[in-house]
Structure 1
Amino acid sequence: MAFPYKRRRFMSIIAQSTFSFFACLFFAIIYKTPKSELVACGITGAFGYGAYYTYYVNTNEPMFATFIGAVTVAFIAKLYASSRKLPVMLYVLPPIFPLVPGANIYYAAYGVIMENIPYAVANGVRAFKLSGLCVIALLIIFSIPDEIFDIITGVSRFNIVEKEENNSIKN
């Protein structure tokens, strides 16, 4: 009897990741990401939100799940940026969108409007914590030197510099 439940959970994770892919893809279009990088933004968002949702479904702990999702987004974004030699923020901004605690910010504002201050403060603090965890995760991954990601992706910065020097010598 446990099998159908696990299958349903797995299908839910796949569905959430698919929706996240399209959300990040469309946000990247709004953000005017180059067309060749739209799918990469969608894939990064799908894996990031997939990691978040998988952890959240299994533990019901949104704080660490957000951290795991943001670490996944930052790591994959650094890999894409290293392999394609483009700015890393191109791959971070659209995919981090599903992890932003927008509902908590909304409920905090709603609590203020309805004059339910404890409710507003609780949701505001939670939104601040979740946003802070996203920032900390990005800082941790961005503090890893780019050379390590170059090794992982098989791209060498020195070959690019040598080719440019050889071209300038020939000219």
Structure 2
Amino acid sequence: MNPFFQILTGFLGTVSFAILFEVPKKYYIWCGTIGAIGWGIYLAFMHFVNAPIAATFVASLALIYLSREASFALRAPVTIFLICGIFCLVPGLGIYNFTYNFFIGDSIEAAQIGVQVLKIAIAISLGISVGYELSPNCFYSYHRRKKLAE
């Protein structure tokens, strides 16, 4: 599938998720942009390295950085941008396939898919955890706001 089309659908999916969770309208474009950039980073990493776990980790790091930057710039909670942006990286199809194989009795296939889904979930959580540990001094918007206050 065309990468541009995938990034566009990532944007639209993220905005749809923001609408579903009643994010204020003024943040729709920001949420969609952050989600699309995260998905674009995932696609680019997969194109060059083809390692879904590492790609998910790197994209999660980028998403938390962008979410925190938007949070400082727009004076809004980080979770508004992060939860919507991370939507594209959640392994929904993997969870479905795991459940399907589990209930039809294909335990070996279910276990293989389940382990892969678990690795991706851990990569997402580690990326977010590492990103949250960054000091506010790492963010341009934080510096700009601090200078304006002085």
TM-score category, normalised to shorter length:
over 0.9
- 1:86 aligns to what SS in structure 2? coil
Structure 2 counterpart of 1:127, from 104, 117, 132: 117
Deviating beyond 6 angstroms after TM superposition, the runs of 4 or more aligned structure 1 residues are none
The answer to whether the 8 Å contact 1:48/1:73 transfers is yes
Tell me the residue number matched to 1:19: 9
Is residue 61 of structure 1 aligned with residue 18 of structure 2? no
Per the alignment, do residues 39 and 151 of structure 1 end up closer, same or farther by CA in structure 2, a change over 3 Å counting?
closer
Could you tell me the TM-score, scaled by structure 2's length?
0.92
* Displacement of 1:153: 5.7
- Supply the RMSD in Å over aligned alpha carbons: 1.8
State the alpha-carbon separation in 2 of the partners of residues 104 and 144 from structure 1: 30
State how many pairs are aligned. 150
State the alpha-carbon separation in 1 of the partners of residues 9 and 104 from structure 2: 32
- 1:154 aligns to what SS in structure 2? helix
State the alpha-carbon separation in 2 of the partners of residues 98 and 115 from structure 1: 29
State the Cα deviation string for residues 84-138 of structure 1 (Å, max 9, x = none). Answer: 1111000001110110011111111111111011111111111111011001001
Paired residue type of 2:96: Y
- Report percent identity of matched pairs: 24
Structure 1 counterpart of 2:144, from 154, 158, 169: 154
State the alpha-carbon separation in 2 of the partners of residues 78 and 98 from structure 1: 18
- 2:105 aligns to what SS in structure 1? coil
Is residue 36 of structure 1 aligned with residue 22 of structure 2? no
The answer to whether the 8 Å contact 1:150/1:157 transfers is no
Per the alignment, do residues 147 and 157 of structure 1 end up closer, same or farther by CA in structure 2, a change over 3 Å counting?
farther
State the alpha-carbon separation in 2 of the partners of residues 90 and 96 from structure 1: 11
Is residue 78 of structure 1 aligned with residue 68 of structure 2? yes
Structure 1 portions without partners, runs of 5+:
1-8, 163-171
State the Cα deviation string for residues 43-71 of structure 1 (Å, max 9, x = none). Answer: 00000000001111222211111111111
The answer to whether the 8 Å contact 1:45/1:95 transfers is yes
Tell me the residue number matched to 1:116: 106
Structure 2 portions without partners, runs of 5+:
none
State the alpha-carbon separation in 2 of the partners of residues 154 and 64 from structure 1: 32
Tell me the residue number matched to 1:138: 128
- 1:156 aligns to what SS in structure 2? helix
Is residue 94 of structure 1 aligned with residue 84 of structure 2? yes
State the alpha-carbon separation in 2 of the partners of residues 87 and 56 from structure 1: 30
Paired residue type of 1:133: A
